[in-house]
Amino acid sequence: MLDTEMQSECSENGQILHKKATEILLTLTSAEKQGQNLYLPLKQIGSILNDLQDENLSYLYERLLNSFQTESKLQQERDDEYFAFVLLLCNLLYETRTNVNKDDLVPA
C-alpha cells in the first residue's frame, strides 16, 4: 500500500514539475515570437523557477537576469546563456515526462 502511495506522490510531483517547466518555456517562447525584450518575461518566471529547485537553471537564470539589468554582456554571450537555459529547461521537461510515464507503467 505504501509503495502505491509513494508512486502516486512521485507521479503527481513529476506532473507538477512538468507543468511548471512547460509554463516557463511557453512564457519565454511567446515573448520571443512577439519580438519582446526578454527581461520582463524572465522576471515573470522567477517564482515559478524557484519551485523547480534546479541549481543549474537557477544559476543561468540569475546570470541572464543580471546581464539584462547591467547590459554589460555581449549579445552573443547573452544568446549563448539563453540557449543553455532553454536547453536545460527542455531536458528537465523530458526527464519529468519520462519519469511520469515510467511511474504510470509500473503496476500497482
Residue-wise pLDDT for 17-67, tens only, equals: 889 999 999 999 999 999 998 899 999 999 999 988 889 999 999 998 888
Please give the model's pTM, rounded to 2 decimal places. 0.79
Say which residues have a Cβ less than 8 Å from residue 4's Cβ, sequence separation at least 6: 108
> Is 7 a residue whose pLDDT tops 70?
no
Q: What is the mean pLDDT of residues 88-99?
A: 89
How high is the mean pLDDT of the chain?
84
Percent composition of the chain: helix, strand, coil (DSSP 3-state, to 5): 85, 0, 15
Question: Residue 89 sits in which domain range?
Answer: 2-105
Number of H helices, E strands in the chain: 5, 0
Q: What is the mean pLDDT of residues 66-71?
A: 81
Total structural domains within the chain: 1
CA dist 49 and 23 (Å) reads 10
Q: What is the pLDDT of residue 85?
A: 94
